[in-house]
Amino acid sequence: MFSSLTQWIDSFLLRYMGENWALFVEFLLIGVSIMVAYAVLALILILVERKICAYFQCRLGPNRVGPWGLFQTAADMIKIVLKELIRINRADHFLFRLASFIVIVGSVCTFGALPFAKGLQVIDFNIGVFYLLAISSLGVVGILLAGWSSNSKYTMIGAMRSGAQLISYELSCGMSLLCIVVLSGTMQLSEIVEMQRDSWFIFQGHVPAVIAFIIYLIAGHAETNRGPFDLPEAESELTAGYHTEYSGIQFGFFYLAEYMNMFIIAAIAATMFLGGWQPLHISGWDTFNQVMDCIPSAIWFLGKTGFCIFLALWVRWSFPRLRIDQLLRLEWKILMPICLVNILLMALLVALRG
Amino acid sequence: MKKTNMEITEKYLSSLSFATLERRADGMLSVTVPKENLYEVAKFLRHECAEKYNFLFDLVGTDSDNKLGVIYYLSQSAQPEQMLALKTFTADREKPELFSVQDLWDSASVYEREVYDFFGIRFINHPDMRRIFLRADWNGFPLRKDYNADPAVNPVPEKSELISDMERMPSITLKMGERKEETSYVFEKDDYVVNFGPQHPAMHGVLHLRVALDGEIIKKIDPVFGYIHRGIEKMCEAYTYPQMLHLTDRLDYLSGTMNRHALCLCCENALQLEVSERAHYIRTIFDELTRIASHLLGWGCMCMDMGSITAFVYGMRDREKIMDIFEETAGGRLMANYATIGGVARDIHPNFQRRVKELIPYIRKMLKEHHMLFSNNPIARGRMAGIGFLSKEKAISLGATGPSGRASGWHNDLRKISPYAAYGKVNFDEVLRSEGLTYDRYVIRLDEIEQSLRIIEQLIDNIPEGAYAAKTKAVIKLPEGEFFQRVENARGQFGVHITSKGDKTPYRVKFRSPSLTLVGALKAIATESKVADLIMLGASLDYVIPCIDR
Amino acid sequence: MEVKDIRIPNMRYEDFNDNEYLENYVSELREGGVNIFVGKINDFINWGRSNSVWPLTFATSCCGIEFMCVGAARSDFARFGWEVTRNSPRQADVIFVCGTIVHKMAPVLKRLYEQMAEPKYVMAIGGCAISGGPFKSSYHTVMGVDKIIPVDVYIPGCPPRPEAILYGMMQLSRKIKVQNFFKLPDERKKVAESGELKVENGKP
């Protein structure tokens, strides 16, 4: 469906302009649509979180702005875009401005590489998993810069905590994804999704895949800096952590990136473990499989991602925050060793299977 | 046995040629000693006496008969119902100086700073004689009778007080007869000092903590008070007794009913006013409802400080039910403004008993849920395990009363020690724990809610008939003398001291805030712990800042 | 444009008590007429701003507890989109002055206000913040925060009930709704021009 649309656009443009120009326009179109999708998804996500959080807390959540409060976050965006950008005294202005861009750029680049539906993927690297891991950890540079350049003690402590946290949990994240790479034998996202046509990797990979999935959820959750791992912006001691000094749209970038990182982590989990946009197939149940096929692939993808996001929100609004030493102990003494053993197990499994 | 100890103390004190003993109008033994001998007597009472007076309840600065002085209220942990008032005076108004007792009782350190701030009395051998509530550039000492209250003398400042990391503490030392005025640094030269407050999301108000950090480890804490100092004690001196009542509600707004109860009891005892049983019962129920509401909020805040916002909202949700009951009978939600001298302001609402009876099973059910959601959560247990140790001796010396002290095993519940109102008629347990760790301070509050429910359960069906308030004269004048009353509020022992000269307004009023000493306890337990735990440790002590600053 | 156009989704125009003040305010703002295009942009911006007011978590005393009650399950200001309480003044839109402001706190409050990014609003909650309230005869109380910072909405009470705070919030929404993005109202302009407000001394 999507490939026919892109082909039509391609041939349409080629009819009127040279190949290079057509490519340029296509890039532009893709860029704009990714950015729009990014912003819209982020706004929806923020609203969803506020609603879900409210229900967890016996409240109603936003319900006055638009029907069921649907336009609440749109109003927030209008306001935040038009808010004053404060020039911080004695801050490193270049780095200060740059930091929020690095965070959002890292997040958008990761977002762009996700396979949203059948044929709806902007770029399909043959090292897709590697790319996702690499580019998503760009954000930590932005956070460190933000903390350093703001010339404030709170942001500094927040950034340092964040650095320690993100870099540690990056390991578990990578290791658990590596499990799936071992299982699938490829790093190309489209192929990984394709291989899950009959059975998702979480079922194919037996116990090691389930362990990897759980570890990925924990480590990924930690990477998004959200509770119970929200130490970098622990409001009870650091006011707002590394983005304390940011106002207006610069803060908006951090805010959007925080929510979109949650989406990205959930989307990667869905792609790697839950079959991406592939429908649920159970071998032998042909009618059931055909019914499942009728549901559009984008819905499958968003549904699975939504499930992972819901898990994250559930944890976020139920658990208290960890302390930095407990956080690092969890990573280095518990998750990491399990991950290492898990990869061996997975390799063994693959070897036995032939 | 009890009597003999007191007699021994009394015998010793009367054997001192310089000491004057008297029985005050409220029955307390009062000893006046010259300022030169104060330290010696204090040391005897603290260390050598048969039953050691190890708990300095309060320090009351006074300015009467043109003499500045201090009243030390002393108590014991072994016989907590025993109280002794130790007095001393200095006639020097220009450079008043007394000897410090901060090496005998830890709590004296902060009390003496308070006396210095309000009366200008400097304490010799106290290492830190900075002003505690008012700014360093404040002119005059407000609680002195000759204070110039003209706002032109002390205008609203335009600039924040610049508190340098290299701030100095002035002190006077007298060693071997040699008197020296010196200063020392609050922090060391290379300390990384982080400010928490006065505006800080989790500071529960406007406390300002300056914290020296070594990485994530706290090296030293220097609390700065006074960002909500409203001068209530000075205001009371111009108010009549019924007018004073509404200020007590606004001291520690979470246990306003109990603070008000303390002042009412103090006045009633002084007037020897008979209060009806009905009023006593109603007051007791109100006190316990307030305690439940306060503990629910305290629990919620502590959970929030650990990052669990949902728990906070749950606490507030349950608290609303109590607020509804208050509103129906008293008219106010947070400020019930209910107790008056001689009884309560109005009779209970016809729905009162039914709603309270509905509340009890609800809160019990919710307590189970709170335990499930938070107390038994592995992360919460991990956060609270093994940190914030406060030993019993330290708690007594610091004067950390209330649930925080009881978590360390210190029997200090005034409802048991000297039962007032209807507490003598009900069965309940004083919740005591022994470890003195953060988890104990956390869980003791939930257990106290359970006990409060028990108290209410026993009283609610048995409220006797009768008048809800005794008839008082139109103008209430307390007889001449000093009066003292303490009650157990949600945070600890709340004390009221009134010096009356027989007028319709008091001569001097002092409220003993349980929260002030709790901040001292925070200093003790948070040093050497991680900065991430600082706020949570503070929340485990559950102090209320406006009560500290008064 | 009719003044009755000041509609917010939460409350009817007739249900507000003192509409004259707002009407005068609007007529002052719209002196000389409003360009239709500018007017539409204004409406759009004001719709966003009035529906997204993030408060700063700031409380000095008792009123802070009632402010928490507004955020909790019973009253829930999240319905109007106010629940995103920011801890950093840089990201907040409105400061709720909950409780007494004393001499020592006054410069701190002023600093907080200055740290906030425009557009910013102030709500004085409770008697103490409005005029000193029960502590008017104290030597250390500021007789109303409007001596230090400009106040948009006053909510009387000691402390005000959560409903009263919600009503005040609606009033602020309406006030934001009639603002002109391209023209500052007079009181704020004065502040913006002089750079700071003069601090006056309250008399007991």
DSSP secondary structure of A130-167? HHHHHHHTTHHHHHHHHHHHTT-HHHHHHHHHHHHHHH
Q: Give the 3-state secondary structure of residue B110.
A: helix
What fold characterizes domain C17-194? Rossmann fold (3.40.50)
Token match 């990984």: residue? A192
Cβ–Cβ below 8 Å for A75 and C52: yes
Of B229, B310, A129, B251, nearest to C106 by C-alpha is B229
CB contact under 8 A, B156 and C201: yes
Count of positions (residues) in chain A: 354
What's residue B329's pLDDT?
87
**Rounded to 5, what percent of chain A is helix, strand, coil?**
75, 0, 25
Give which of B510, B499, B522 is closest to B58, Cα–Cα.
B510
Query: What is the rounded CA–CA span in Å between residue B498 and residue B27?
Result: 14
In order, the DSSP letters of A190-225 are HHHHHTTSSS-HHHHTHHHHHHHHHHHHHHHHHHTT
Confidence band of C204 (pLDDT split at 50, 70, 90): very low
How far, rounded to the nearest angstrom, does the alpha carbon of residue B304 sit from its chain's CA centroid?
A: 24
Shortest distance between the Cα of C27 and any Cα of chain B, in A, equals 35
| Contact call for residues B336 and B272 (beta carbons, < 8 A) | no
Q: Do C201 and B226 touch (CB under 8 A)?
A: no
The nearest CA of chain B is from the CA of A53 a distance in Å of: 8
**Is the Cβ of A319 closer than 8 Å to some Cβ of chain B?**
yes
C202, pLDDT greater than 70: no
Question: pLDDT below 70 — which residues of chain B?
Answer: 1-7, 165-166, 176, 201-203
CB contact under 8 A, A321 and B202: no
Q: Residue B125: exposed, middle, or buried by beta-carbon count in 10 A (0-12, 13-18, 19+)?
A: middle
Confidence grade of residue C196 (pLDDT, cut at 50, 70, 90): very low
Q: Which residue has the tokens 């006013």?
A: B273
The pLDDT assigned to B202 comes to: 64
Distance from CA of C7 to the nearest CA of A (A): 12
Q: Do B227 and C135 touch (CB under 8 A)?
A: no
pLDDT of residue C59: 81
- Each residue's pLDDT tens digit, C116-151: 887 888 988 888 888 888 888 888 888 888 888 888
- The closest alpha carbon to A274, from A297, A301, A299, belongs to A301
Predicted local distance difference test score (pLDDT) of residue B222: 87
Domain ranges of chain C: 17-194
Q: Would you say the C-alpha torsion C71, C77, C78, C84 has a positive or negative sign?
A: negative
Q: Are A342 and A215 in contact (CB under 8 A)?
A: yes
- Confidence band of C181 (pLDDT split at 50, 70, 90): confident
Q: Which residue of C has its CA nearest to B250?
A: C62
Q: What is the mean pLDDT of chain A?
A: 83
Worst-scoring range by mean pLDDT, A241-250, B327-336, B403-412, C31-40? C31-40
pLDDT digits (tens, 9 = 90+) for A297-332: 788 888 888 898 898 888 888 888 888 888 888 888
Domains B2-147+168-178 and B232-549 share a fold: no
Segments making up each domain of chain B, as ranges:
2-147+168-178, 232-549
- Is the per-residue pLDDT at C195 higher than 50? no
- Give C-chain residues touching A74 at CB under 8 angstroms: 48
Q: Report the SS3 class of residue B97.
A: strand
Token representation of residue A225: 């800096």
Q: Give the closest of A237, A317, A320 to B383, CB-based.
A: A320
Question: Which residue from B149, B226, B319 is facing C139, i.e. has the nearest CB?
Answer: B149
pLDDT (0 to 100) of residue C198: 42
Q: Angle, to 10 degrees, between the axis of helix B277-305 and the axis of helix B352-370?
A: 30
Highest CATH level, class, for B232-549: mainly alpha
> Which residues from chain A sit within 8 angstroms of residue B534, using beta carbons?
237
Q: Indicate yes or no: CB of B316 within 8 angstroms of CB of C72.
A: yes
Question: Does residue C191 carry a pLDDT above 60?
Answer: no
**Contact flag C142-B231 (C-beta cutoff 8 Å):** no
Q: Given a cut of 70, is residue C203 above it in pLDDT? A: no
DSSP string covering C14-64? GGSS-HHHHHHHHHHHTTT---HHHHHHHHHHHHHHHH--PEE--B-STHH
Each residue's pLDDT tens digit, A14-71: 778 777 888 888 888 888 888 888 888 888 888 888 888 888 888 888 888 878 888 8
> Alpha-carbon distance A236 to A234, whole Å?
6
Q: How far is CA C22 from the centre of its chain?
A: 14
The predicted structure's pLDDT at residue A2: 64
- 8 Å CB contact between B296 and B318: yes
Q: Give the pLDDT score at B405.
A: 87
Q: What percentage of chain C exceeds 90 in pLDDT?
A: 0
Assess contact for B248 and B260: CB atoms under 8 A.
Answer: yes
C105 and B323 within 8 Å at the Cβ level: the answer is no
Amino acid at B37: N
- For residue A354, name the pLDDT band (cuts at 50, 70, 90): low
Tell me how many residue pairs between chain B and chain C have CB atoms under 8 A apart.
139
A246 vs C: CB within 8 A: yes
% pLDDT > 70, chain A: 96
Rounded Cα distance between A259 and A278, Å, is 25
Token pair, residue A188, equals 């190309």
B386 part of contact set with chain A, CB < 8 Å: no
Domain ranges of chain A: 1-82, 87-353
**At C186, is the pLDDT very low, low, confident or very high (cuts 50, 70, 90)?**
low
C-alpha span between B519 and B506 (Å, rounded): 29
pLDDT, mean of residues A80-101:
83
Q: Enter the ipTM.
A: 0.83
pLDDT-derived band at C184, boundaries 50, 70, 90: low
Q: Are A346 and A177 within 8 A, CB to CB?
A: no
Residue-wise pLDDT for B356-411, tens only, equals 889 999 999 989 888 888 888 888 888 888 888 888 888 888 888 888 888 888 88
Query: Residue B301 has which token pair?
Result: 């805040």
What region does B149 belong to: left with phi over 0, alpha with psi -120 to 50, or beta? Answer: alpha
Range 25-84 of B in CB contact (< 8 A) with A: none
Q: Which two tokens stand for residue A21?
A: 């120009």
Subunits with 3+ C-beta pairs closer than 8 A to C = A, B
pLDDT of residue A234: 60
Class of domain B2-147+168-178: alpha beta
Q: How far is CA B240 from each of CA B243, B486, C123, rounded to the nearest angstrom?
A: 5, 20, 33
Q: Which residues of A touch C73 (CB under 8 A)?
A: 57-59
> Would the CB atoms of B307 and A325 count as touching at under 8 Å?
no
A vs B, Cβ pairs < 8 A, gives 81
Which residues in chain A have their CB less than 8 angstroms from residue C78's CB? 50, 54, 59-62
Taking a C-beta distance cutoff of 8 angstroms, is the pair C61, C101 a contact? no
Please, are residues B513 and B547 in contact by the beta-carbon 8 Å criterion? Answer: yes
